[in-house]
Chains A and B, each alone.
Chain A
Amino acid sequence: MKKKGVDFLLLLAAGAAVFLLIAGLAWIGVIGEFYLQLISTAGIYIIVSLSLNLITGFTGQLALGHAGFMSIGAYTAAIFVMRLGVPLLPSVLLGGAMSALFGYLIGFPTLRLRGDYLAITTLGFGEIIRVVLNNLEGITGGSAGLKSIPGFSDTGDVMLDAIIKFAWIFVFFAVTVAVISNLVRSSPGRTIVSVREDEIASTSMGNDVARYKMLSFTVSALFAGIGGGLYSALFNYLNPSNFNFLYSVNFVVIAVLGGLGSITGTVLGGLIFTFAQEWLRVLKDFRLVVFGLLLILLMLFWQKGIMGSKELSITRILRRILGLGGKKE
């Protein structure tokens, strides 16, 4: 118990230190506003990719419609903020809840089936959502999109605004990491992982496999929706065409690159992916070819990605640095 308490404090301190470091560097002008925005974007990508990793990496079910869940969260949050005047925080959470509801409804028929049906149903679902968002013109603005969505803050100082954006996203990022890493270590989480390892064996152990898949998928949709809600406030503009199939594939790539079943891997994957997109701009049209090749090569030769299903234990590193003498678990 005592060790856990220390670990918790260590993690909290590490999180605060990272936040203060980046925010501080931005405040004194070392990190430009553009790069801070890029880090915030990466934060949202990481939140959504973590949610995807829960269902794909930990539960072993490929989902290809996370852009769809993200768009539900984004539109719900934006509509609550703009049309109903609800504050941003409850709106983002409502966006997550709405997305989770859809996740439950979609998962219900498909997760009872074994095999790749989830992949294709979520893909189809993503497409349907796009069609629906395009047609609900009165509410969503249709194909012209929803513009001038209020941001996180409006202080008049652009740098301060950028730091506040980053703060919001960082807090949600920390909460997502905490919830998902605790979930997969809990008893239901162990069952979820057993579904990935061997569905039949897990069933014969008396586990209600479909129920645990549902749990994982609903939580996954929840965080994808929250990511979407934050997206709407970060970019201040939504358009259905943004949330297409290729956008969903981005999150698959991040999760695979970092390592399916690794939370710290996804975080690294998300950062690398976002910045690589900027670096790879020099490739122009070749960028997507390289992107596809990378995906194939990863799968053929480096299936485990950066981290495999291992975690980079931050507490262990900190303990070693601080000389607290943490032993190998």
Chain B
Amino acid sequence: MDLLLFLQQLLNGISLGSVYALVAIGYTMVYGIVKLINFAHGDILMIGAYCGYYAFTWAQGTASPGLAIAFAFALAMGISALTGVVVEKTCYRPLRNAPRINALITAIGVSIVLENGARVLPFMGPNPRQVRIPEALTGVLQFSGLTISKVQVLTLATSIALMLVLTLFVQYTRTGKAMRAVSHDQQAALLMGISVDRIVSITFAVGAALGGAGGVLFAMNFPMIDPYMGIMPGLKAFVAAVFGGIGSIPGAMLGGLVMGVAETLTKGFISTKLADAVSFGILIVILLVRPAGILGKATREKV
């Protein structure tokens, strides 16, 4: 095997994986707290991508490219967080004590509404849109035979920065501690005076904001956006979250990277035809071998 080609593919995989990781965090945080597979999370990625696209197109003419990109991220993360909270409050909260299957079906409904709502909204529409990458970000950097595009550099830098901020937030702030407490034991947290409703909303907001940022990065890497763009990355990010151990934030980061690398290496060296099958095959193997995921803790339900 050509070492250089292998390293190149590895690099491509890590860049893709860092986007999966950002999206996987949203799945894992929500699951950790309300035990819900939020099927609509992939569509939050789509919303983030569209917001980033509009924000950037608007700001491009008036501000420097750097500022325009920062604005795009801010708006995308803000609107995504808002969407996440609204969906939680209207659709998931009334079902928190209902059987889990009901919430799961509701999540599928939300996903269908978001995708098709985007298709019929006059300013979004069903046809894919081209994203014009700012001049400053086109082009590639060369390192002793390896090619990395500037967008890939930005992707890695942004996702690492966001994951760092999240880790600090969850570990050291009061809200972060409260989140962990709710995730650990909702009843006990309630007794300790933590407002569970507020914490759940914040969790949805943070998870969705990261998903939105993932959407902007996704749109920059693969510069075409359409209403269905969130489905596949959403599914793969979910597999990544299960792989890393659903409920575990470091697990989601690791899982995302592994998924990205596995997918790219499969395409590069095994078979492009089977890449999607491999992603889901990994899921089934993980469930067989280590159902709690790589970094997850196996819990036993007490009666």
Residues of A within 8 A of B (CB): 56, 60-62, 64, 106, 109-110, 112-117, 119-121, 123-125, 127-128, 131-132, 134-135, 200, 204, 245-246, 249, 252, 256, 260, 285-286, 288-289, 291-296, 299-300, 303
Contact = CB atoms under 8 A, between A and B. Distances in A.
A128 B280 contact: yes
**Complex A-B, nearest 8 residue pairs according to Cβ-Cβ distance, in ascending order:** A292-B112, A295-B109, A124-B280, A292-B113, A296-B109, A288-B116, A109-B288, A131-B277
Given A289-B113, A296-B110, A256 B287 contact: no
Interface hub of A106, A127, A295 (most chain B Cβ within 10 A):
A295
A252 B101 CA distance: 11
23 contacts: A64-B108, A115-B35, A115-B100, A117-B242, A119-B37, A119-B104, A121-B284, A127-B276, A131-B273, A131-B276, A132-B277, A135-B274, A245-B231, A285-B126, A286-B116, A286-B120, A288-B119, A289-B120, A292-B113, A292-B117, A295-B109, A296-B91, A300-B91
B102 A303 contact: yes
Interface in B250-303: 273-274, 276-277, 279-281, 283-284, 287-288, 291, 301, 303
* Majority secondary structure of chain A interface residues (helix, strand, loop or mixed): helix
Given A109-B284, A109-B288, A296-B106, A128 B112 contact: no
Contacts of B94: 300
Contact of B112 (A109, A110, A256, A295): A295
Interface residues of B, number: 45
Contact of A117 (B111, B291, B301): B291
Contacts of B112: 246, 249, 288-289, 291-292, 295
Given A116-B104, A127-B280, 12 more contacts: A56-B101, A64-B108, A113-B287, A127-B276, A128-B280, A128-B281, A131-B274, A134-B273, A293-B109, A294-B109, A299-B105, A300-B91
Contacts of A115: 35, 100
Contacts of A249: 108, 112
B106 A124 contact: no
Given A62-B105, A293-B109, A295-B106, A200 B284 contact: no
Contacts of A113: 287, 291
Interface of B: 35, 37, 91, 94-95, 98-106, 108-113, 115-117, 119-120, 126, 231, 235, 238-239, 242, 273-274, 276-277, 279-281, 283-284, 287-288, 291, 301, 303
B46 to A, nearest CB: 14
A292 B283 contact: no
A60 B111 CA distance: 22
B303 A295 contact: no
Nearest to A117: B287
A115 B291 CA distance: 11
A280 to B, nearest CB: 13
B301 A299 contact: no
Contacts of A119: 37, 104
Contacts of B95: 299-300
B109 A292 contact: yes
B126 A120 contact: no
A120 B242 contact: yes
A134 B272 CA distance: 13
Contacts of A109: 284, 287-288
Contacts of A246: 112
Given A116-B37, A303-B98, A125 B91 contact: no
A120 B238 contact: yes
Contacts of B287: 109-110, 113, 117, 121
A64 to B, nearest CB: 8
A110 B279 CA distance: 17
A69 B4 CA distance: 42
Contacts of B37: 116, 119-120
Contacts of B104: 62, 116, 119
